[in-house]
Amino acid sequence: MIVQMVLSVLLGAVLLHGWTQLRRSPLVAWMSLTAATGGLYLVWAPAHTTEIAGMLGIGRGADLIMYLWVCISLNLLLSLHLKQLRQQETLTRLARHVALANAFVRTNDVRGAAAPTVARLQGDGRRSTRMRGHTA
């Protein structure tokens, strides 16, 4: 019973995680929800484990549970990867905003000058003329 409770809490956490990801990563979220629901069912109906494993051609019930856990783990890894991608997108937007705000824009036709006149851009790309080297 204790192990069942612990596993239920863990799988409940996976369910919650899947639910929070439904809007951003629907496919990954549904995979988490399905695997965790299946896991909960097997935890509370262990007698069915071997029967279902046999139907799926796996053989032993313990193997079925292990495969299910591997699926959940891989899915969580994928979810973490997607989260990292979203953070990368945020970083890119921030870096782009900074880069555009500090863009060097030549306002004269003298190329190769040591300190040419430049205009700096606001974050939205609008131009506000300032002298390079005289900016705060």
Partner 1 sequence: MRVISSDTVWIVCPAFNEERTLAGVLTRLIAHGYKVVVVDDGSRDKTREIAEGLADAVVSHPVNLGQGAALATGLAFALAQGADYIVTFDSDGQHRATDIARMIATLKSTRSDYALGSRFLAGRQRVPLLRRLLLRAATIFTALTTGLRLTDTHNGLRAFTRRGAAALDLRQDRMAHASEILSEVARSRLPYVEVPVTIDYTEYSLAKGQRASDAVMILLDLFARKLHR
Is there a contact between 94 and 73 (Cβ–Cβ < 8 Å)? Answer: no
Site for partner 1 in 61-120 (CB under 8 A): 78, 81-82, 85-86, 88-89, 91-92, 95-96, 98-100, 102-106, 111-113, 116
| Choice from 28, 33, 53, 64 touching partner 1 (CB under 8 A) | 28
CB of 104 within 8 A of CB of 122? Answer: no
- Least distance between partner 1 and beta carbon 37 (Å): 20
Q: Which is nearer to partner 1, 62 or 98 (CB)?
A: 98
Could you tell me the smallest distance in angstroms from the CB atom of residue 38 to partner 1?
Answer: 21
As measured in angstroms, the least distance from the Cβ of 109 to partner 1 is 9
Contacting partner 1 (CB under 8 A), which of 3, 126, 128, 135? 126
* Cβ within 8 Å of residue 102, ≥6 positions away: 120, 121
> Exposed e or buried b for every residue in 74-97, given b needs 16+ CB within 10 A?
ebbeebeeeeeeeeeeeeeeeeee
How many Å apart are CA 131 and CA 105, to the nearest integer?
10
Considering the complex, what minimum distance in angstroms separates the CB of residue 1 from partner 1?
Answer: 38
